[in-house]
Structure 1
Amino acid sequence: MRYYTKNSTLFVRGAFRAASTGIDGGIRDVTTLFNHTVPADWSHDSPKKEIELVAAAAGIGPCVFGLLTAVPLRHLCVLQYDFVTVFVTAGIREHPPQEAGTINIIVYSSEGMEDSALLEMILVATEAKAEALIAAGRDSGTPTDAVIAACEGEKLHRYAGRITEPGQRLREAVLKGVPEALRRYERGAENEEPAFFIYSRLEGGHWVEWSPVNCPYYPCHFPGQRCDFCYCPFYPCKNEALGDWSVSSSGGKVWSCSRCTLIHEPAVADYLKRYPDAPLDELVQYQKQQKKKIIP
Structure 2
Amino acid sequence: MRYFLENNTLFIRGRFRAASTGVNGGLADVTTIVNHTVPHNFEGDPSRHLELLAARHGIFNDFFGLLTAVDMRHLCVLQYDFITVFITAGITNPTLNDDPKTPHTINIIVYSQEGMRDATLLESIITATGAKAQALHNLGHDFPGTTTDAVVVACERDAAITHTYAGTLTEVGRRVHAAVLYGLPEALARQQGKVRRSGPSFFIYSRYGGEHWVEWKKEDCPYYPCHFAGQRCDYCYCPCYPCRDEELGEWVESLSGGNVWACTRCTLLHQPEIADYVRRNPEATLAELKRLREKI
- Specify the TM-score bucket, using the shorter chain as the normaliser: over 0.9
How many angstroms does 1:231 deviate by? 1.1
How many angstroms does 1:116 deviate by? 0.5
Instruction: Indicate the residue corresponding to 2:4 in structure 1.
Output: 4
TM-score under structure 1 length normalisation = 0.94
2:120 is equivalent to residue 130 of structure 1: no
Instruction: Tell me, in whole angstroms, the C-alpha distance in 2 between the residues paired with 1:81 and 1:140.
Output: 24
Instruction: Tell me, in whole angstroms, the C-alpha distance in 1 between the residues paired with 2:167 and 2:40.
Output: 37
RMSD: 1.5
How many angstroms does 1:98 deviate by? 11
Instruction: Tell me, in whole angstroms, the C-alpha distance in 2 between the residues paired with 1:251 and 1:178.
Output: 27
Asked whether the equivalents of residues 75 and 189 of structure 1 are also in contact (C-alpha less than 8 Å), the reply is no
* Residues 28-67 of structure 1 aligned to structure 2 (within 5 Å): 28-43=28-43, 45-67=44-66
Give CA deviations for 1:176-235 in whole Å, capped at 9, x if unaligned. 111111111112552221010000012220000011100011112222110000111111
Instruction: Indicate the residue corresponding to 1:157 in structure 2.
Output: 163
Asked whether the equivalents of residues 78 and 86 of structure 1 are also in contact (C-alpha less than 8 Å), the reply is yes
Instruction: Tell me, in whole angstroms, the C-alpha distance in 1 between the residues paired with 2:99 and 2:222.
Output: 45
Structure 2 stretches lacking a partner, 5+ long: none
Instruction: Tell me, in whole angstroms, the C-alpha distance in 1 between the residues paired with 2:98 and 2:56.
Output: 32
Residue type of the partner of 1:36? H
How many angstroms does 1:250 deviate by? 3.0
Instruction: Indicate the residue corresponding to 2:147 in structure 1.
Output: 143
Residue type of the partner of 1:4? F
How many angstroms does 1:113 deviate by? 0.4
- Aligned-pair identity in percent equals 58
Distance of aligned partners of 1:102 and 1:251 in 2 relative to their CA distance in 1, 3 Å threshold: closer
2:114 is equivalent to residue 111 of structure 1: yes
Structure 1 stretches lacking a partner, 5+ long: 291-296
Asked whether the equivalents of residues 74 and 197 of structure 2 are also in contact (C-alpha less than 8 Å), the reply is no
Instruction: Indicate the residue corresponding to 1:210 in structure 2.
Output: 216
Asked whether the equivalents of residues 83 and 172 of structure 2 are also in contact (C-alpha less than 8 Å), the reply is yes
Asked whether the equivalents of residues 87 and 187 of structure 2 are also in contact (C-alpha less than 8 Å), the reply is yes
Give CA deviations for 1:224-249 in whole Å, capped at 9, x if unaligned. 11000011111111111111111222
Instruction: Tell me, in whole angstroms, the C-alpha distance in 2 between the residues paired with 1:88 and 1:206.
Output: 19
How many angstroms does 1:32 deviate by? 0.3
Give CA deviations for 1:115-137 in whole Å, capped at 9, x if unaligned. 00000110000000000001111
Instruction: Tell me, in whole angstroms, the C-alpha distance in 2 between the residues paired with 1:229 and 1:4.
Output: 11
Instruction: Tell me, in whole angstroms, the C-alpha distance in 1 between the residues paired with 2:208 and 2:245.
Output: 27
Distance of aligned partners of 1:108 and 1:63 in 2 relative to their CA distance in 1, 3 Å threshold: same
Distance of aligned partners of 1:92 and 1:86 in 2 relative to their CA distance in 1, 3 Å threshold: same
Residue type of the partner of 1:268? I
Q: Paired residues, what number? A: 289
TM-score under structure 2 length normalisation = 0.94
Distance of aligned partners of 1:127 and 1:251 in 2 relative to their CA distance in 1, 3 Å threshold: closer
Asked whether the equivalents of residues 119 and 165 of structure 2 are also in contact (C-alpha less than 8 Å), the reply is yes
Asked whether the equivalents of residues 4 and 11 of structure 1 are also in contact (C-alpha less than 8 Å), the reply is yes
How many angstroms does 1:56 deviate by? 1.2
Asked whether the equivalents of residues 74 and 190 of structure 2 are also in contact (C-alpha less than 8 Å), the reply is yes
Instruction: Indicate the residue corresponding to 1:102 in structure 2.
Output: 105
1:280 to 276, 281, 286: 286
Asked whether the equivalents of residues 70 and 88 of structure 2 are also in contact (C-alpha less than 8 Å), the reply is yes
Instruction: Tell me, in whole angstroms, the C-alpha distance in 2 between the residues paired with 1:164 and 1:96.
Output: 40
